[in-house]
Structure formats: structure tokens, C-alpha cells
A and B are shown apart, each in its own frame.
Chain A
Amino acid sequence: MIAFVVRRVLASIGVMIAVGLIAFAMFRYVGDPINQMVGVETSVAERAQLREELGLNDPAIVQALRFLARAARFDFGVSYQFKQPVADLIGARMPATLELAFVASILSLAAGIPMGVYSALHRDSALSRLFQALSLIGISLPTFLTGILLITLFSVVLGWLPSFGRGDVVRLGPWWTTGFLTVSGLKSLVMPATTLALFQMTLIMRLVRAEMLEVLRADYIRFARARGLSESAIHFRHALKNTLVPVITIVGLQLGSIVAFSIITETVFAWPGMGQLFLQSIQNVDIPIMAAYLLFIAFMFVTINLVVDILYVSVDPRLRASLHGMHG
């Protein structure tokens, strides 16, 4: 098991280095950083001096290694646009995005799995049909439309929930600000989290339903029935556990994309998260932020994949056996 984890961690580091090189390539090919940093009136001599100071005249390989070494220490340089260290900018935005993604994931799992199980077990009930219809809507409605509809209803018409921002936040330690501890913070989370969760929820529901229907046809379920086990034991102990491996895969990747692609939701709700920062950085060709964001997203996917692989092994004993080199 430890050898397996070490192997996977090494592979993950390899992926991160590759992504780091791609991020570095952005610096070299997306415009001239000096032009982004200085004003029009800066003289050629000053530009050359800055170029020398930033090490931009060194060979590409030296620059690449320097970039990777700094990135490994979370030093991504200074934003062209904000003139602040990129790590600080991202660090300040990260709690907002991660809290939103966390709530959205919990929401989509807590609703999606029971709905999927229910609609697999009671295929012809009215509620299952309703779930199926809702999931079709959830999958086909674009996120920005869901967000705007929610804002129209709950902010404009009913006036229950704030339409933008995080509300009041509480600072926890030097890095983290949380919206979980204030009423306005929690109220602000409801609509963005729902918007972000809706698509994931319908996806999880459909996946769980399909997998569950498949597993319920398996021989070991029939044999469990023939032994007179209770319906709940058959459904939850025997069937649900067997649906989990494919579900974990998809859910893991989806959680990554919740964080990475919450950009639209953050824009609709003016959520002060990383997505917003990333959009601004694109508009201003703020390459250090783009590069850091790219690395951050890659890091998150790599971490999630690692966790998913470890979860597989803990769910499925057959994989554990093959790791020990046993016959399996």
C-alpha cells in the first residue's frame, strides 16, 4: 500500500513538472512581459535593465528551472496588474472558491446519491419520474441561466437572499477567511452553491441510478435474495457498495471541475473567488496569475486523482490483493 502511494505521488510530481513547463512556456510566448509591466514612457535602456534584472536574458532552460524551483516554494512572482505577489492574491481568493466548491460538492452528493438510489429502486414511481425530469433540466440548463433565474426569484422578487458577494466573513488565522460563521455569509452561499451543485447533482444521480440498476441484476444480488436477506441489507450493504467504484471516479473528477470551472458561477454572483481573479488576469494578460492558476488547478486534479486511487483500493479488496502481488 505504501509503495503504491509512493509510486502514485512520484507520478503526480512528474505531472506537476510537465504542467509547470507548460505554464513557463506561457511567459515566453504570450507577449513580452516587460511591455506589460512598464509604461509607454519607459526608455529602452530602462527596459533592458529590467530585462536583465528579471533574468529574462538567461537561456530558456535556466529560466525554466528557476521558474519551477520558485513555483515549488509557491513563489509565482509579482502580478503585472496588481503589483502584488501572486501567491498572496491567490491565497486571499482561494477560501472563497474552496468554500463554495465544498458546499456545492456536499450538496450534490447529499442529494444526488439518495435520489439515484431511490430512482433505481422505485423505477416506476411518480417521484422517480419527477427526479428523471428534473435531472434532464439540470443537465441541459446552462449554469449562468440557473444563476440568473435564482437571483430573479430569491433576490429580486422575494428578496430573501443576497444576489452578489460573500456577505460578512470572519478571518481565521493569517490565510483563511470564512463565510460559514456569519448569517449573511451563509445566506450568500445558498444560491451560488445551488447553482454550482445542480449539474453535478443530476450527473451523480443519473450515474448512481444506472450503476445501481446494473448491480441489482448481478448474480450475487439474486443469491442474497435467495438467502432471505432484508431489502435494506441487499440495497445498501450489497448493491450500493458495488456501485461506488465508478461513482468515486466521476465524482472525484467532477469535484475538481467544480473548483476549476466555477468561473461562470462566480461571475454571475460576483463571488470574490479565484475564478474572478483568473478572468481579470486574462483580460489584462497577467501571465503570472494565469500560470499560477494553471498550476493550482493541475495540482488539485492530481491530488484528487491520487485520493480517488487510494479510495478505490479501500473500497475494492480485489485491488488491494493485486497490490500485494497476490493472485487475484
Chain B
Amino acid sequence: MSAALLSVRDLRVEFATRQGPLIALDGVSFDIAPGEVLGVVGESGAGKTLTGLAIIGLLDPPSRIAGGEIRLDGERIDNLSPARMRVLRGRRIGMIFQDPLTSLNPLLRIGDQLTETILTHLSLTRRQARERAIAWLGEVGIPSPAKRIDGYPHEFSGGMRQRVVIALALCAEPALIIADEPTTALDVSVQAQIIAVLKKVTRVHGAAVMLITHDMGVIAEMADRVAVMYAGRIVEIGAIGDVARRPLHPYAMGLMAAIPTLEARAGRLAQIPGTMPRLSAIPRGCAFSPRCPRVFGRCEAERPPLIAVGERRAACWLYDAQAAPAAARAENSR
């Protein structure tokens, strides 16, 4: 883990409002190693997409990065000028958005959108760029790409369009792809294909992936590690097997228990009582404390940091006693 591709430390994102800033992300820290797939889960409004947008530098006003730092290959990228950030986007960090139907410009041929992106980042001739575009379409599983390259987006189905979107995000071979709910807008039958394509091409080209989703099935299929977010903070982060099977944080426990399985089809699904707090009313201590079944005094008074528990870390006071203080300090200062 020493040579992280992406390293986010204490990221804080605020929304400017008339009543003063609202803190949307607070103290978010994680690493992604080269070629690694990090799943990011959490309910709507937990800050998953905001984290992705902050990394790629596409936060729209009134939201802005108010603190912390983001490093890509050791180089700080959260304070770059817009022009230098633009060179980075597409070339070193790519992003895929949720809805393949609206991600493609309806008036431009998909081939033009691809070659335009390739030519922006790589010094190739137009003909070479076109050949590469055809190769990319083939790679993401578009049948007869040499013919389809001159098609317009509306001539493709939803799943095919999302393949084109994947090709577009990857065609300048970025080292990191942020995939924000890449399959949510698609039919269930197509979702698995898209995940398979994404998994294959990112592996072939050695791209790391930050996979944002609320679908644990997608995470289980693709991710190496998973970060669970709640109310703008990471509450647990660790290897997918550990977090899915033996979650530490009470919120993660609730989340995993709420996943329906075929075996347990009888009865009601487990649910976590209550709702996530609004940004303007996040409790002073642990943000989850009002809903937590195992809450105790310290949770409401003091905010828990990420505490190392074996290989993973959880932001919960339950584990404060169990983790050796020295180990925790080492983990946090790394």
C-alpha cells in the first residue's frame, strides 16, 4: 500500500449557503492502489458521488473542496489550475456517469466523440485515432465496430451506449476510473454484462477503479476493497470479503443485513430504523449514533476517527479498546 495511485486525506467538501457553509464531506481518507478496485457504498446523499466529483475536479458551485488533499501518483491535484486539471481529466482520471442515455451527445457520431477525446490527449493522426476508436469499440463488445462507429447515440440500445461510455472514459488510458453507478440506469439483464465489460477492460489496461454504487451485488462482483460511507464520512473500509461477511461498524452491519438473499426469502427484509441526518443537522458525535442499536455515551459526545481493526478500519468507538493505540496511530499517520 505504500505506492498508492490515489491518496485522499481528510477531504472536506462544503456547500456555500445563505446560512453559512454546509459540510457535505468531512475527513474522508482512503487510498487506491494501482489496478485496484475500490467499491464505495452507502445510501443516497452519503457523499459517494461528491467524493468522485471532488477527485476529478468537477464539483459545481456552490460546492467546493474546503480542506484536505488529494494526491495522484504522489502529486497533489486538488489545488491545480483549471487548465492543468483539464489535461489530467480523461488522460489520468476518467469518470463514468450513471445514465448512458444522456451521457452521449445526441448530435455527434460516437466515432467523432471517441476520436475527439483520443486526439485531445494523445498525439496521433486522425486516421490513427479512428483506428484506435474502432479497436476500443470492439474491446467493449460493440459488434462490427468499423460499421457502428459512424452511428449516432440514438441508434444504440442502453447497454450498448453504456459500453460506448466505457470506451470513451478509457480511450486515453487513464490510470484511474471513477465509475458512478455505472449500471443503475440499466436493465438487470444488462447490468451483469456491463460489469463484466468494465472488469475486463480495466484489468486489461491496468486501470484502478473507484466503483460508486448502492448495489452490494455489483461490489461483490468486482471490488477488491470496499468503503462504506454515511453522512459524508467513511465509516468502514476494508477487504470486500471481510466487510461483507463480518462488518464491524453497526451501520455496515445494518447495510449488509438489508441485502436480500435467495435463501432468506421468507419474512421481511431487515431495515435500519430512522433516516440519514440532513447536512444541516449532523450530530456532534458519531453521525450514526441516533440510529445505532449499540450507541453509548461517548458516541454522542465525541466523533470517532477511523480505528484500525486488523486489516481494516472502522469509525466506531466500539473498537477503541480493542485496537492497540500504537498500531492505530501508525495506521493513521501512514
Contacts and interface: CB of A to CB of B under 8 A. Distances in A.
Real complex partners, A and B? Answer: yes
Interface of A: 218-220, 222-231, 233, 237-238, 241-242, 315-318, 321, 326, 328
B87 A317 contact: no
Interface SS of A by simple majority: helix
A316 B107 contact: yes
Nearest to A229: B120
A286 B314 CA distance: 91
Contacts of A226: 56, 58, 89-90, 94-95, 97, 169
Interface string B89-130: 111001101010011111111000000110011000000000
Interface of B: 56, 58, 86-91, 94-95, 97, 99, 102-109, 116-117, 120-121, 152, 154-155, 165, 168-169, 172
Contacts of B103: 219-220, 223
Given A229-B116, A318-B154, 15 more contacts: A218-B102, A220-B102, A222-B97, A223-B103, A225-B89, A226-B95, A227-B90, A227-B172, A228-B121, A228-B172, A230-B86, A237-B108, A238-B105, A317-B107, A317-B152
A219 B116 contact: no
A237 B106 contact: no
B99 A315 contact: no
Nearest to B92: A228
Contact of B120 (A230, A238, A315, A316): A230
Given A220-B105, A317-B152, A321-B154, A228 B90 contact: yes
A229 B90 contact: yes
Sort A-B residue pairs by CB-CB distance and give the 4 closest, nearest first.
A228-B90, A228-B89, A219-B102, A227-B90
Contacts of A224: 105
B97 A227 contact: no
A237 B120 CA distance: 13
B56 to A, nearest CB: 6
Contact of B107 (A222, A225, A230, A241): A241
A227 B86 CA distance: 8
A220 B104 contact: yes
A225 B104 CA distance: 12
B154 A228 contact: no
6 contacts: A223-B103, A226-B95, A227-B120, A229-B120, A230-B120, A317-B152
Contacts of B165: 223
Contacts of B88: 228
B245 to A, nearest CB: 34
A228 B91 contact: yes
Contacts of B155: 321, 326, 328
Nearest to B89: A228
Given A225-B89, A315-B107, A233 B58 contact: no
Contacts of B56: 226
B49 to A, nearest CB: 11
Contacts of A326: 155
Nearest to B87: A228
A220 B106 contact: yes
A242 B107 contact: yes
A321 B155 CA distance: 8
Nearest to A218: B102
Nearest to B102: A219
Contacts of A237: 108, 116
Nearest to B178: A226
A170 B56 CA distance: 62
A54 to B, nearest CB: 56
Contacts of B116: 229, 233, 237
Given A318-B154, A321-B152, A321-B155, A238 B108 contact: yes
Nearest to A320: B152
Contact of A227 (B94, B102, B152, B154): B94
A218 B94 CA distance: 18
A226 B109 CA distance: 18
